[in-house]
Amino acid sequence: MTHMTTPLLLRASVRYFLGHPWMTFLAIVGIALGVAVVTAVDLANQGAMQAMRLSVAALSGKTTHRLIGPPGGLDEAIFGPLRWLEGVEQAAPIVDGQVLWPTQPEQKLHVLGVDLLADAPLRPHWVNHAAGIDLKTLITTPGAVLLAKETANHLGLRANDTLTVLAQGKSRQLTVIGLLDDADPLIRQGLRDTLVVDVATAQELLDFYGHLTRIDIRLREGAALPRIPDNYRWVAMEHRSQTLESLTQSFRLNLSVLSMMALMVGMFIIFNTITFSVVRRRHLIGLLRAQGITRAELLRQLLLDGCLLGIPGTLLGLLLGIALGKGLLILVVRTINDLYFGLEVTGMPLDPLALLKGGLLGLGASLVATWPAAWEAVAIAPSSALTRSSLENATAQGVIRVGRWGVGMMGVGMLVVALPGNHLLAGFIALGFFTCGAAMIVPLLMVALVRMLQPGMRRYGGWMGTLALGSVPRHLSRTGIAVAALTVAVATVVGMGLLVDSFRLTVERWLEETLSSDIYVSTGETSTGAGVDVGILDAQLIATLSHIPGVASVGLGRRVGLDTREGMINLFVLDVDWSRFADRWFLAGNAKDSWPQFQHGDAILISESLAFRRNLTVGSKLALPTPTGEHHLTIGGIYADFRADTGSVTISRNTFANYWRDNAMATMGIRVQPGADIDDVLERLKQAAGPQNTLDFQSNRGLKEASLQIFDRTFAVTRVLRLVSVVVAFFGIWTALMAIQLERTRELAVFRALGMTTDELFRMSLLETGIMGGIAGLLAMPMGWGLGWVLIHVINYRSFGWSLHMDTRAAIVLQTLLIAIPTAIAAGTLPARKMARTPPLEALRENL
Amino acid sequence: MKRHRWLILAGVLVIVGTVVAWRSDPLPTDDSTLIGTILGNGDHADFERAYAPKAWHFPEDHGPHPRYKAEWWYLTGNLFAVDTGRHFGYEFTLFRFALATHAKERPSPWGTTQVHMGHLALTDSNRGAFQHFQRFSRVALDLAGAVADPFRVWLGDWSLVGTGGAPEQPSMHLEARHEGVAVELSLVATKPVVLQGDHGLSRKSPEPGNASHYYSLPRLATTGWVVAGGERFQVSGLSWFDREWSTSSLAENQEGWDWFALQLGDGWDLMVYRMREKTAPSSFTSGGTLIDPEGKVTTLADDAVVVESSESWRSPTTGIPYPSQWHLRIPARNLDVTITPWLADQELNRTMVRYWEGAVRIHGNHGLHPVQGNGYVELAGYGRKK
């Protein structure tokens, strides 16, 4: 028996799937899209991670520790004694800084002065890519420069060319002695817009005599760090790399979870297709069961059906995922670039683990989605399998049971949110429970909604409306799933939209309130993460600029990277008057109370993310590493800061001078006198600074625009994921409608036989799908709002420590209808047309 | 069914294998020839070459000769623990390489055209241990340098410093430590400077200019301390100091050289070199110097010395076979000795140069008497592509 029936069942499945190519196609596409999104996000994340590791490796090589000092740099005399200390395997002196490329005044070039003999063991890739270049000349020839090929192309330079740069206000001639092959991303990343020179040339170019900007060392394992002067500091490189990875972890986790939502919708489609195929073959299944096929055999066969759809879907999904991943990688990297640090990616590694994971998820999801239908088919008695009404009866009862489960799951989700502690994982678990629960309630709510609408429809909707509305709960086993899938997809889109819009609105308001100066002047020193900000404003220059006609008042600031035990944070030093201080967006504590203490150095301010991460409140103390030792300072207030989720600390210039023994400032915020033209003042400032300055001038407007631009770029990834969710939902609803229409072939044929025209039938079908879309849209409103709430107040807060003002504009929530109804109608058009065109006789004869 | 399980297992293995193979580390590995790449060979056109014997001046010639491409201060010695007689061999060498001839004055003190390479090797025969270290530094600031008077050459905290004596028979102090190995030795020359070859011009091949200026202090009474294997030993013994500078010493057809510095128990010292040819490995240009106990020098002609290697040793690290025992005869002098390494593995597998430089012991006959002694042998250019 076994040998006979298994091929028989298999053949029945194959025939069925081939006989319904659209259904089969959609199921495959559904799972493919789900797998594609998960795989793409995974690959993009992996690619970004690899780029991050490579970039750290490119910049630090085999360095274990970096010695940095006060803004003036390290005394060069420290290098000799340090070089051959017990435990120091390698040590390399570095002098770096910036020069201007005069043909394009905005173009700044990074000068990296190295001692190749000391550097090669630490960063071998530089030398490995110098084939054909006589590296000796870099050391022996003053002004000799090495460039990466890409940089040379960018600047229009070739080997042996001379170039003139503007350094410290003076014109300097340099000679390109060779181009480094930059096929290796290490080179490309590490040496972008960089002039590699000898440490002697760097000192001569940058007027940095007697000093080094840093010393990179490789410490023998287990050896103690050499002793250094008080105002010098060791930075562990491993620590840096880890910090960078953990920095972006929340961001990457968020993306992964969002991609899983797409897979969930894909599962709906498979579930739908298999359930439908079982329903369509109930008769055959009943017959086979009556003939003695065991439950185990049947179950195995139905699960095999899931694989028949799942395997091609998964394979297709992997291919799509690779393609989509390449696009996503660019967006992910751009976000990391904007939010965290400079990163460039030249290729996406095809991480086989990510592909394996995507494949297993696809197959697993297919099997999971098949299980309920298979189990149901196996569980029913052979006799009842032969009747159709039993199914819909069971479904009607099931709706209530499933609904109860759904309520329970949402309850659990809320409980998880309410749990003490701020675990991100708990947040995601809550999100999962909430979404699943909501999806399970949808069919029940749909029935209730239809019941509520029916009296109205009977009165105003005509016979067609009544018929269309009535058919929705009548085919609950199909419509319930379709509407649930659409609701979840639309709610996801709206929820994510709510998050992004709220975020943007909050940031916009924050920028509005905190950027209170009209013009910002800075040294333009981009943060390379070295922890040294070489660029400080000359006190004389500050005085000159402060007295330019039209300048009303000036506030000074400085950003210093602070390497605390828990990672890098930003230290903002402020020298401002009361009105500027009060502009800070206080979330706890207030400006008035903390001002005197802040000025005297008794109190510091910290950002919300830092308060969140370290569990700090106003009045608690924070330990800050300073050149004069570790100091515990009292927190006088907590402010909003969306610049970086790593957190920041703000102290007064007095405090800085006191503990850091440093008084220099790096940025100026200038307020223009009432009535003065900002652009005029800006022009005067630029002129006063002189042509050779490397200063960066930004107007308030420009800064705000740039900030929001960065913000929008950052969220481009989520926009893509939202779009993909809608596409998947579209395929989901299409499948479901297809199923319904196919199943109702006979019913519709009866309508036709009774005299309904093709056109009327088409319109009725569309009306039905429109109603389903409308229901999904309505139900997605509260669900989308709820999802948005969880994303904003739970997921975002637990990931980044930013509290956002939820955007309560009704328009966003109303979007649900705008998305759901057109999606449903678009998806329903093809099945509706197909059905309407079927000749009644044929339809009546078919599938009996 | 069983067959299917095997298939599945095979499939899993294939997948795992692919994953493992795929996830190999993309970062490049260290390349030990990096610094060689940087220093390169370049062209020698601008450098001075040794064409003819020079006029010698001491102490000036103890110092650097930056117009020649390469130069070294080369100390080797056999030392014995004062209490137990435990044997140690040491090599300390500072190499100077010129990257360019023009030495422009530059505003930055980091500016330079000179590079020092240092080698420190210690042979601890009792433990069977051979440790060696290498350093590089630019000659700038006080990172590394060489001065004739008062004599001092150094690289970081490795230094060889003059402590007095006549200019042609000086005393010096050596200090070098690295990763648990250290030598602190005071060296007193017991014989004056020996000019090698033709009045200090050591021709390596018939081609003019393929020669070096070369002098030695063949016998330095040595006392001091050695730190090895976590222990500190008071030692005494004999050292040999070689000074050589040149721009190009090997001819096209030469593969390398064998060099012997032997100190005999009867007060005689002997330097022998053989330049090996690529084309015929057993063909040599050789020469040497014999120094009597009073310091009187006899130059040995090409055919005066017969050296035969009787055994060979293959390096486990580089796979290169080296000769490892020699039979050396100077028939005219009735000298007939066997030379055996204190330790087989004394190979320095290093960035710029790979060579075997090892402490050896000697026994045999000199004149009518049996004789013993110690020395150093250098084997350079083995394992090169022909």
- Residue ranges per structural domain of chain B: 69-380
Q: Which two tokens stand for residue A843?
A: 């339809």
Cβ proximity of A28 and A18 under 8 Å: no
| Residue-level pLDDT at B75 | 97
How close is the nearest chain A Cα to the Cα of B251, in Å? 23
Say which residues have a Cβ less than 8 Å from residue A653's Cβ, sequence separation at least 6: A556, A573, A574, A575, A663, A665
Task: For residue B135, give the chain A residue with the closest CA.
Answer: A84
Say which residues have a Cβ less than 8 Å from residue B3's Cβ, sequence separation at least 6: none
Cα separation, A783 vs A720, in Å, equals 21
Query: Residues B194-212: pLDDT tens digits?
Result: 999 899 998 887 788 888 9
CB-CB under 8 Å, B138 with A76: no
CB-CB under 8 Å, B106 with A142: yes
CB-CB under 8 Å, B110 with A200: yes
- ipTM of predicted assembly, 2 dp: 0.85
Confidence bin at B21 (pLDDT 50/70/90): very low
Cα separation, A137 vs A140, in Å, equals 5
Rounded to 10 deg, the angle between the A295-339 and A2-19 helix axes is 50
Count of CB atoms situated within 10 Å of the CB of A77: 14
Asked whether the predicted pLDDT for residue B17 surpasses 50, the reply is no
DSSP class per residue in A499-539: HHHHHHHHHHHHHHHH---SEEEE------SSS-----B-H
Confidence bin at A599 (pLDDT 50/70/90): confident
Query: Residue A400: what are its φ and ψ, rounded to 5°?
Result: -70, -45
CB-CB under 8 Å, B115 with A80: no
Give the least confident one: B32-46, B202-216, B339-353.
B32-46
Measured between CB atoms, which of B26, B34, B39 is closest to A136?
Answer: B39
Q: CA separation (Å) from A792 to A72, A434, A502, A806, B248?
A: 44, 14, 8, 7, 74
Match 């200063």 to its residue by tokens. A695
Query: Residues B204-242: pLDDT tens digits?
Result: 877 888 889 999 999 999 999 999 988 999 999 999 999
Cα separation, A532 vs B378, in Å, equals 49
Q: Which two tokens stand for residue B93?
A: 């060498």
Asked whether the predicted pLDDT for residue B110 surpasses 90, the reply is yes
Cβ proximity of B258 and B325 under 8 Å: no
pTM: predicted TM-score of the whole model, two decimal places: 0.62
Q: Does the domain formed by B69-380 have CATH 2.40.370.10?
A: yes
Cβ proximity of A805 and A509 under 8 Å: yes
Cα separation, B174 vs B184, in Å, equals 6
| Residue-level pLDDT at A528 | 35
DSSP class per residue in A14-78: HHHHHHSHHHHHHHHHHHHHHHHHHHHHHHHHHHHHHHHHHHHHHHHTT--EEEE-STT-EEGGG
CB-CB under 8 Å, B107 with A84: no
To test the contact with chain B by mutation, choose from A129, A135, A219, A360 the residue with the greatest count of B C-beta atoms within 10 A, namely: A135
Asked whether the predicted pLDDT for residue B1 surpasses 50, the reply is no
Confidence bin at B55 (pLDDT 50/70/90): very high
Q: How many residues can be counted in chain A? A: 848
In this prediction, what percent of chain A has a pLDDT beyond 70?
A: 80
Measured between beta carbons, the chain B residues lying within 8 angstroms of A201 are 108
Helical H runs in A690-807? 700-714, 716-743, 745-753, 758-789, 797-800
Q: Is A139 on the interface with B (CB under 8 A)?
A: yes
| Residue-level pLDDT at A248 | 63
* H/E segment holding residue A352: helix A352-379
Amino acid at A256: S
Please work out, in degrees rounded to the nearest 5, the angle formed at the alpha carbon of residue A236 by the alpha carbons of A232 and A241: 135
Count of CB atoms situated within 10 Å of the CB of B368: 6
| Residue-level pLDDT at B23 | 37
Count of CB atoms situated within 10 Å of the CB of A353: 12
3-class secondary structure per residue, B43-57:
CCCCCCCCCCCCCCC
Q: Mean pLDDT over residues A715-721, rounded? A: 70
Q: Which two tokens stand for residue A433?
A: 């429970």
Sign of CA dihedral B4, B9, B10, B15: positive
Q: How many residues can be counted in chain B? A: 386
| Residue-level pLDDT at A816 | 78
Q: Which two tokens stand for residue A80?
A: 């000799």
CB-CB under 8 Å, A356 with B110: no
Measured between CB atoms, which of B37, B100, B112 is closest to A135?
Answer: B37
Under DSSP, the state recorded for B57 is -
Q: Mean pLDDT over residues A820-827, rounded? A: 79
- Indicate the SS3 state at residue A475: coil
| Residue-level pLDDT at A517 | 81
Q: Mean pLDDT over residues B186-196, rounded? A: 96
pLDDT greater at residue A349 or residue B183: B183
Q: Which two tokens stand for residue A210?
A: 């007697």
In this prediction, what percent of chain B has a pLDDT beyond 90?
A: 60
| Residue-level pLDDT at B188 | 97
Within 13 A of B81's CA, how many CA atoms are on the CB side? 15
How close is the nearest chain B Cα to the Cα of A44, in Å? 16
Task: Return the top range by mean pLDDT from A310-314, A607-611, A723-727, B86-90.
Answer: B86-90
Match 């994510």 to its residue by tokens. A496
pLDDT greater at residue A748 or residue A649: A649
To test the contact with chain A by mutation, choose from B24, B27, B137, B142 the residue with the greatest count of A C-beta atoms within 10 A, namely: B27
- Indicate the SS3 state at residue B341: strand
Instruction: Write the burial class of residue A524 (CB in 10 Å: 0-12 exposed, 13-18 middle, 19+ buried).
Output: middle
Count of CB atoms situated within 10 Å of the CB of A449: 20
| Residue-level pLDDT at B275 | 84
Q: How does strand A667-672 pair with strand A551-564?
A: antiparallel
Within 13 A of A504's CA, how many CA atoms are on the CB side? 16
Match 């023009």 to its residue by tokens. B102
Count of CB atoms situated within 10 Å of the CB of A2: 8
Q: Mean pLDDT over residues A719-746, rounded? A: 72
Cα separation, B201 vs B195, in Å, equals 8
Helical H runs in A419-461? 424-460
* Among the listed residues A613, A569, A614, A639, the one whose alpha carbon sits nearest the alpha carbon of residue A797: A613
Task: Return the top range by mean pLDDT from A213-227, A530-544, A682-696, A737-751.
Answer: A213-227
Query: Quick one: residue A713, left, alpha or beta (phi over 0 = left, psi -120 to 50 = alpha)?
Result: alpha
Amino acid at A600: H
Under DSSP, the state recorded for A665 is B
Q: Which two tokens stand for residue A666?
A: 């790096």
Under DSSP, the state recorded for A715 is T
Measured between CB atoms, which of B29, B108, B156 is closest to A83?
Answer: B156
Asked whether the predicted pLDDT for residue A180 surpasses 90, the reply is no
Instruction: Write the burial class of residue A104 (CB in 10 Å: 0-12 exposed, 13-18 middle, 19+ buried).
Output: exposed
| Residue-level pLDDT at B228 | 93
Q: Which two tokens stand for residue B53?
A: 């014997």
Cα separation, A30 vs A28, in Å, equals 5
Asked whether the predicted pLDDT for residue B18 surpasses 50, the reply is no
Q: Mean pLDDT over residues B261-281, rounded? A: 88
Count of CB atoms situated within 10 Å of the CB of A19: 11
- Kindly report the average pLDDT of chain A as a whole number: 78
| Residue-level pLDDT at B22 | 42
Partners of B299 in the β-ladder: B289
Query: Residue A527: what are its φ and ψ, rounded to 5°?
Result: -75, 115
Under DSSP, the state recorded for A790 is I
Query: Residues A272-301: pLDDT tens digits?
Result: 667 777 777 777 777 777 777 788 887 888
* H/E segment holding residue A324: helix A295-339
Q: How does strand B144-147 pair with strand B347-349?
A: unpaired
CB-CB under 8 Å, B107 with A209: yes
Measured between beta carbons, the chain A residues lying within 8 angstroms of B31 are 124, 127-128
| Residue-level pLDDT at A780 | 86
Query: Residues B117-167: pLDDT tens digits?
Result: 999 999 999 999 999 998 999 999 999 999 999 999 999 999 999 999 999
Task: For residue B117, give the chain A residue with the closest CA.
Answer: A117
Asked whether the predicted pLDDT for residue A98 surpasses 50, the reply is yes
Query: Residue A40: what are its φ and ψ, rounded to 5°?
Result: -60, -45
Rounded to 10 deg, the angle between the A21-60 and A237-247 helix axes is 150
| Residue-level pLDDT at A731 | 75
| Residue-level pLDDT at B31 | 35
Residues of B with CB under 8 A from a CB of A: 15, 18-19, 22-23, 26-31, 34-35, 37-40, 42, 99-100, 102, 104, 106-113, 115, 135-138, 140-143, 156-158, 178-179
Asked whether the predicted pLDDT for residue A228 surpasses 50, the reply is yes
Q: Is A84 on the interface with B (CB under 8 A)?
A: yes
Give the least confident one: A63-77, A681-695, B41-55, B302-316.
A681-695
| Residue-level pLDDT at A534 | 46
Measured between beta carbons, the chain A residues lying within 8 angstroms of B110 are 76, 93, 115, 198-200, 203
Asked whether the predicted pLDDT for residue A603 surpasses 80, the reply is yes
Cβ proximity of B131 and B89 under 8 Å: no
Q: Mean pLDDT over residues B95-124, rounded? A: 90
* Among the listed residues A127, A301, A118, the one whose alpha carbon sits nearest the alpha carbon of residue A218: A118
What residue spans define the domains of chain A? Answer: 1-64+236-373, 71-230, 461-515+701-848, 524-694
CB-CB under 8 Å, A117 with B35: yes
In this prediction, what percent of chain A has a pLDDT beyond 90?
A: 5
Give the least confident one: A51-55, A240-244, B130-134.
A240-244
Measured between beta carbons, the chain B residues lying within 8 angstroms of A190 are none
Cα separation, A636 vs A199, in Å, equals 45
